[in-house]
Amino acid sequence: MRRSPRKISLYLRSIIVEHSPMLRLREIRQQRGLSLRELQRLSGVAVSALAKFEAGEGDPQLSTLRKLATALNVTVAELIGVAKPQKGGTRHGAHKTA
């Protein structure tokens, strides 16, 4: 059974959205009990942009990722899902010393 190009495109999009690194944004925001408006206030990133990022649309610039990471008290790597959350509240750019 062959799928139409449109169905394939929608299927691929659903996979990409499902596995989008920016889905961590929604997860972290919700863990912190923040609304999109509250995150906007903390980060300076527009609600419309936040909603797009959480939906797997758009491609945030590094400066935007830094603003979001700072507002959420995580590293950029944690925000995009390439690192596990740090213990003890280490922020992006911060290093623990012995």
- pLDDT (tens place) for every residue of the chain, 98 residues total: 565 666 656 665 555 455 566 778 999 999 999 999 999 999 999 999 999 998 888 888 889 999 999 999 999 888 887 766 666 554 444 433 33
CA 50 to chain centre: 8
Strands (E), the chain: none
Contact in structure between 38 and 72 (CB atoms under 8 Å): no
Structure tokens at 10: 């929608």
Domain ranges of the chain: 5-79
Provide the CATH number for the domain formed by 5-79 in this structure: 1.10.260.40
- Under DSSP, is residue 1 helix (H, G, I), strand (E, B) or coil? coil
Amino acid at 19: H
* Distance in Å from the first CA to the final CA of the chain: 61
Q: State pTM to two decimals.
A: 0.67
